[in-house]
Structure 1
Amino acid sequence: MAVLWLLLLAALPIFFLGVFLQAVWEHWRTTRIPAALQHPARFRALHCILLYAMAVGNIFEKLRICSMPRFVRFLQDKLTIKKNPEVVVTDLRFGTIPVRLFQPKASTSSPRRGILFYHGGGAVFGSLDSYHNLCSFLARETDSVVLSVGYRLLPEHHYPVIFTDCLNASIHFLKALKTYGVDPSKVVACGESVGGGMVALIMQALVGRTDLPQIRAQVLIYPMVQAINFQLPSFQQNQNVPFLPLDFMITCACKYLAIDLSWKEAMLKGACIPPGFWKKYRKWLSSDNLPRRFRSKVQQPETLAPFNEAAYLETKHIFDVENAPIIADDEVIAQLPEAFLVSCEMDILRDDTLLYKKRLEDQGVRVTWYHVEDGFHGCVVLFDKKFFSFPCSVSLAHAVVSYIKGI
């Protein structure tokens, strides 16, 4: 028996080495590294590590040890959290929702600016811990009180949990601004990726609320604002670019919206989009609305597959405003606060940002646009990760700080 255990222990490193080599092979087989990317070797290494973590997580899931997302989040959370002596950090709960409060330690004679922050991660990854350093940085550099919302995630929780958690936490914070020393006229909502989409949704949900302080500005960092048109140029151009390839993105969307994965192909081809809907909303969702330089002749034009009613019935909640803030009524859009929109050239969600920018501007909303030519999805959270940081990560983090300080 002892010999058997020794053999098993000796085999484990070989097994995990094989899993890692498989992850490396998967990276080289499926991944496209854009020519404009700085430090491609660093980028490849980081992506291989992520693929390896997901592969090990899938093994653990099959062994019923834990789910893959939970395992990857565990590894993310074990990354070193930098303690900032200039910021006081407090973990709280608003009902069942965990939140983390970041307050500058220096005394002040007047109320500070407040920042509501919603992290990214595609409803699968991300947490209060993995975005701790970014929130601490925002609190220190902008001299603001930052509230980070730890909304519930997949696989245990589905639509509309992220939205309701973020909305409820935001309302709770807005009602207690004086408690946290925040100036009610200087509250900013900020989010990254799916968190950026939450900013859009929450700003719309709060329109007309006279019982709450008005949000001063919104910061949307490469947000997801629709899951309807998957044929935009950025989806074609960046479909195999880490860290949000097209297949992973639509898988996350389906799981969060409780859509069977067998309908992915119909969603990609637009077979679930009713002709009447496309005729009405094409003016907001089509690549025709993108600046000319983002409409490459290399990409295929948008051509919807024949309408499939069964696909529509199984996926019809993607057409709800709560999942596609870009199709909100003009009257709602026109009442939104000024916005700072971030897009990255090598990001599958680049065109989502550009379409939402036009949507806001067409209704008279003031928009400041920051486009990162060498940026990729998820880059901002790497701003302080030393070897795994990128120039675009640092410049983007400072651009957000500069905008917020100017409010």
Structure 2
Amino acid sequence: MAFLGLVLFLALPAFFLGVLVWTVFEHFRTTDIPSAIQHPAKFRFLHCMFLYVITLLQQGNIFEKLGICSMPKFFRFLHDRVRIKKDPALVVTNLRFGTIPVRLFQPKAASSRLRRGIIFYHGGGAIFGSLDSYHSLCCFLARETDSVLLMIGYRKLPDHHAPALSQDCLNASIHFLRCLDTYGVDPSRVVLCGESIGGGAVVYIAQTLVGRSDLPSIRAQVLINLCVQAINLCLPSSEQYWCVPFLSQDFVVTSICKYMAIDISWKEAILTGAFMPPDTWRKYRKWLSADNIPKRFQGRGPPPRFPAPYNEAAYLETKHLFDREYSPFLADDETMAQLPEVFLVSCENDMLRDDSLLYKKRLEDLGVRVTWYHVEDGFHGSLILFDKKFFSFPCSVKIVNAVVDYIKGI
């Protein structure tokens, strides 16, 4: 037994070092760094660390079989050890709405009137992200906009799959909306704000609350690097930036499969659209076709063929991707036309860029007001780095300041 322990003690450091060497090699072999990205060396370093974590997560089953620990849970533990800085201008309170952990940010200064309310849904692909990792961002938003902000800590992988995220966000949001007077929030100035998959949660919740006379109406949606559909992954941005950090095409499809409990063997069918019945594509093409992307964002050469020849078995295994809860972009026109105004932030160097462009066009066609802010040097995941000093990027600060300016105008 002692010998086995010694072997493990010596083997583990070698394993971690080997993975690190492999990830650095893999980064330079497969990763594309667009010329628009500022501080490319810093960008490469951060991506190597990210790729290292992802590789270890994927090897987690080895550690589980050895009885050491679940690697995803181990990295969740590390992720939640983020140092929290106290903000003297805010009162921060950890609460639970039923079983859902939330964090409330309230300005300490007295106010002569009810404050604006922000409900924030963090990103992370239902894998990463936490109340702690987005704490400083939410402090900044609450302080700079003089708003009461609620951040929702929804359930994530590996223990929880769809529809945990959307249901937690919806239930916590409804609870907060029913108690606005308790927190000194003006019911006519409630903003839903989300990044990436959190932006998809915003859209779904805004749609679900349309027509609810028992709850205050949502004033606006703030959507950052929006992820709003899992149907067409062959859009121009997917082709242009499929290997750009921090969101590769492979990671997106893998996350979709894990969250939706779809066997990983169907990745290719999802990526190419082979799961799409012809009559369904005829219905959604007017919204999801690459033809709806402005010409200046189209890639060079002919667009990829989409969808691929129909595979009925793939459809039967993945048909829940068409549910509005997971692809809220597919809601009917009547619902979409009643949505509150939108502040939409997109980053050029992001394979999900075109989700924002398609959503923008659809809302504008239906008469919904959209304010669009496009960041040419931005990339997916840059938002959370805005205050990380050496690891911050100019685009991170641009996005946060633009969001603050918009919310202050409400």
The two structures have a TM-score, normalised by structure 1, of 0.96
Which of 311, 315, 318 is equivalent to 2:314?
A: 311
Q: AA paired with 2:263?
A: D
> For each residue in 1:167-198, what CA deviation from the matched residue of structure 2 results, as whole angstroms up to 9, or x when unmatched?
00000000000101101011000000000000
- Which SS does the other structure have where 1:91 is aligned? strand
Structure 2 counterparts to residues 85-164 of structure 1, below 5 A = 85-164=88-167
Asked if the contact 1:338/1:367 (under 8 Å) is kept, the reply is: yes
> For each residue in 1:64-114, what CA deviation from the matched residue of structure 2 results, as whole angstroms up to 9, or x when unmatched?
134343333323222322221111110000000000001111111211100
Q: Decide whether aligned partners of structure 1 residues 29 and 86 sit closer, same or farther in structure 2, where only a CA change above 3 A counts.
A: same
For the pair 1:227 / 2:230, whether they are aligned, the reply is yes
Q: Decide whether aligned partners of structure 1 residues 331 and 7 sit closer, same or farther in structure 2, where only a CA change above 3 A counts.
A: closer
Q: Decide whether aligned partners of structure 1 residues 251 and 56 sit closer, same or farther in structure 2, where only a CA change above 3 A counts.
A: closer
Structure-1 separation of matches of 2:256 and 2:406: 30
Aligned equivalent of 1:27: 27
Q: Decide whether aligned partners of structure 1 residues 61 and 105 sit closer, same or farther in structure 2, where only a CA change above 3 A counts.
A: farther
Structure-1 separation of matches of 2:280 and 2:295: 25
Q: AA paired with 2:279?
A: G
The unaligned stretches of length 5 or more in structure 2 are none
Structure-2 separation of matches of 1:17 and 1:246: 26
Mean Cα deviation higher: 397-406 or 76-85: 76-85
Q: Decide whether aligned partners of structure 1 residues 226 and 58 sit closer, same or farther in structure 2, where only a CA change above 3 A counts.
A: closer
Mean Cα deviation higher: 91-100 or 322-331: 322-331
- Which SS does the other structure have where 2:116 is aligned? strand
Please report the RMSD computed on the Cα atoms of aligned residues, expressed in angstroms. 1.7
Q: Note the C-alpha offset of 1:50.
A: 1.4
Structure-2 separation of matches of 1:259 and 1:58: 16
Q: Note the C-alpha offset of 1:298.
A: 3.3
Q: AA paired with 2:283?
A: K
- Which SS does the other structure have where 1:63 is aligned? helix
Structure 2 counterparts to residues 188-207 of structure 1, below 5 A = 188-207=191-210
Aligned equivalent of 2:338: 335
Aligned equivalent of 1:251: 254
For the pair 1:344 / 2:347, whether they are aligned, the reply is yes
Aligned equivalent of 2:174: 171
Which of 403, 406, 409 is equivalent to 1:403?
A: 406
For the pair 1:186 / 2:189, whether they are aligned, the reply is yes
Aligned equivalent of 1:237: 240
Mean Cα deviation higher: 171-180 or 303-312: 303-312
Asked if the contact 1:115/1:145 (under 8 Å) is kept, the reply is: yes
Which of 290, 293, 304 is equivalent to 2:293?
A: 290
> For each residue in 1:357-385, what CA deviation from the matched residue of structure 2 results, as whole angstroms up to 9, or x when unmatched?
11111111100001010000010110001
The unaligned stretches of length 5 or more in structure 1 are none
Q: Note the C-alpha offset of 1:63.
A: 1.4
Asked if the contact 2:292/2:358 (under 8 Å) is kept, the reply is: yes
- Which SS does the other structure have where 2:266 is aligned? helix
Structure 2 counterparts to residues 256-271 of structure 1, below 5 A = 256-271=259-274
Structure-1 separation of matches of 2:72 and 2:8: 27
Q: AA paired with 2:24?
A: V
Aligned equivalent of 1:365: 368
Structure-1 separation of matches of 2:28 and 2:51: 11
- Which SS does the other structure have where 2:310 is aligned? coil
Q: Note the C-alpha offset of 1:22.
A: 1.4
Asked if the contact 2:199/2:225 (under 8 Å) is kept, the reply is: yes
Q: AA paired with 1:273?
A: M
Aligned equivalent of 1:16: 16
Structure-2 separation of matches of 1:14 and 1:262: 31
Asked if the contact 1:232/1:302 (under 8 Å) is kept, the reply is: no
Structure-2 separation of matches of 1:2 and 1:279: 65
Q: AA paired with 1:397?
A: V
Asked if the contact 1:337/1:365 (under 8 Å) is kept, the reply is: yes
Aligned equivalent of 1:272: 275
Asked if the contact 1:204/1:336 (under 8 Å) is kept, the reply is: yes
- Which SS does the other structure have where 2:72 is aligned? helix
Structure-1 separation of matches of 2:288 and 2:3: 64
- Which SS does the other structure have where 2:129 is aligned? coil
> For each residue in 1:287-314, what CA deviation from the matched residue of structure 2 results, as whole angstroms up to 9, or x when unmatched?
1111110112236333321111111111
Asked if the contact 1:114/1:146 (under 8 Å) is kept, the reply is: yes
Identical aligned residues as a percent:
68
For the pair 1:378 / 2:355, whether they are aligned, the reply is no
Aligned equivalent of 1:45: 45
Asked if the contact 2:63/2:70 (under 8 Å) is kept, the reply is: no
Structure-1 separation of matches of 2:15 and 2:263: 32
The two structures have a TM-score, normalised by structure 2, of 0.95
Asked if the contact 1:102/1:146 (under 8 Å) is kept, the reply is: yes
Q: Note the C-alpha offset of 1:61.
A: 3.9
Asked if the contact 1:228/1:270 (under 8 Å) is kept, the reply is: yes
> For each residue in 1:1-40, what CA deviation from the matched residue of structure 2 results, as whole angstroms up to 9, or x when unmatched?
9899777656654442222111211211221111111001
Aligned length: 407
Q: AA paired with 2:75?
A: V
For the pair 1:302 / 2:305, whether they are aligned, the reply is yes
Structure-2 separation of matches of 1:266 and 1:8: 40
Mean Cα deviation higher: 259-268 or 145-154: 259-268
